[in-house]
Amino acid sequence: MGLFNWLGRVAESVFNWLADVTTWIIERLFAFVETLFQALQNIWSSEIASVLLEAFGIQDFFTSSFMLPKLQAR
């Protein structure tokens, strides 16, 4: 019985660690994409960049109420 409890705690710890690592990777990916598009906006004229961002729906995604608080929290 004690072995199963211990294995359960180990499995839960591993699962929590994997969830944390996955979350961190996704946040870094979003930060990279955001930085990339900010660089594109700086390189291109803001009019061309905003047309491209709006065409792909990316600007709306990053400024939506879902992502903006996460990006501002950093």
- Say what the pLDDT of residue 12 is: 95
pLDDT number for residue 71: 53
Per-residue pLDDT of the chain (74 residues; tens, 9 = 90+): 688 899 999 999 999 999 999 999 999 999 998 888 888 777 665 666 667 777 776 655 555 555 555 555 55
Angstrom distances, CA of residue 22 to CA of 41, 55, 67 = 29, 29, 17
64: part of which helix (H) or strand (E)?
none
Looking at residue 37, its pLDDT comes to: 83
Is 40 in contact with 49 (CB distance < 8 Å)? Answer: yes
The closest of 10, 37, 23, 38 to 70, measured between CA atoms, is 23
d(CA 38, CA 19): 29
